[in-house]
Amino acid sequence: MIVEVLKRATTGIAVGGIYTFIVLSFVKFYGVDATVSEIWLSMLGSFIIGIYFGLSSFIFEFHDWSYLKQTVIHFSLSITIYFIIALSTGWVPFTPLAILSNALVWIAFYTLVWIGFYIYFKKVEASLNEELQNKK
């Protein structure tokens, strides 16, 4: 279990680092000046969010919970963690319009990712069932 936690946390840090690099590339090419402190804070935020998403996948391993319960808990925790980090790092200004618009974009992105994973795992399920049928 400890190895799996470390593996998922490390994967989350790697993904957070990749996202940070992509954003920093845009910052560099558009000539935006950023201080080392701002870059450091953004990297820290990306790493924390990456670790969270790496570890939050454990929520979907509670097989006695319904998909709805898993999704609602994951969504609620995810949007809470995201906004704590996003507001703390200055990614999202602390204004009602910025928070609302960012929440709507976040919800749309979460929904698209959820639908993508749902479709993927339905195909995996169908493939496994087909293999079982062929072995009979």
Domain boundaries, the chain: 1-91, 95-136
Measure CA 106 to chain center: 10
SS3 51: helix
State pTM to two decimals: 0.81
**According to the model, what pLDDT value does residue 34 have?**
82
pLDDT band at residue 6 under the 50/70/90 scheme:
very high
- With 0-12 / 13-18 / 19 or more C-beta atoms within 10 angstroms meaning exposed / middle / buried, residue 59 is middle
Residues near 62 by beta carbon (within 8 Å), at least 6 away in sequence: 70
Mind listing the pLDDT tens digit for each residue in 11-33? 989 988 898 889 888 888 888 88
CB 96 within 8 A of CB 50: no
Q: pLDDT over 70 for what percent of the chain?
A: 99
CB 15 within 8 A of CB 55: no
SS3 106: helix
Examine the pLDDT at 136 and tell me if it is beyond 80: no
Mind listing the pLDDT tens digit for each residue in 64-116? 999 899 999 999 999 999 999 999 999 999 999 999 999 999 999 999 999 99
